[in-house]
Structure 1
Amino acid sequence: MNPFEMVVLIVLIGSIAGVLRARYGVVRTGRGKEEVYVGTRENDAESERLRGEVRQLKDRIAVLERIVTDGDRNHGIALEREIEALRTDKEFRQ
């Protein structure tokens, strides 16, 4: 085996090991220690809840963008007036 083949083989083995670590959730934590991360139902439920919340927020942002960008110029001015009225009302309460 010549040196070039040996270098290619070492790189290939390292790459395969990295892919397998990522696949099975092995995480290095400091000086050579490795821990296996196993997803729990709590983590899955939490991440699913967060995904739903992000989905809701994206929908709300889309609605707000549509409100601001759609319509005629008069509607935009009326919207600005309503926002300013809400701001002054909030400042008045404080």
Structure 2
Amino acid sequence: MMTFPFEAFAPVAALLGVLGLGAWVFTTWLRIRHGYPLENSWGKAVYPRTSDETTERVRLLSTENAQLRAELSAVKDRLATVERIVTDGSYRLDREIDALRGPAN
């Protein structure tokens, strides 16, 4: 009966362990770099400490976001009005009449 040579398997197991640890460090670094929340060993998010500066920045960005949304809404309303005018039948008829009159001299 042949026994399994554990001595030959030990370097492979060590290499796999080191590669696994390196991969874990790399993915953690990527998560930190791109702003993803970190997780502890129980799968719960580990949030960094928030400072007054961070809170103020979030407040300012939220305010700016609200202003930009309001501006976008106003632009959408104006665009809808322009589309309604352009697709209106009488406006199209006026353009066709003007085209038939020819260029103004």
Q: TM-score, normalised by structure 2?
A: 0.45
- Which of the pair has more CA radius of gyration? 2
Larger helix percent: 1
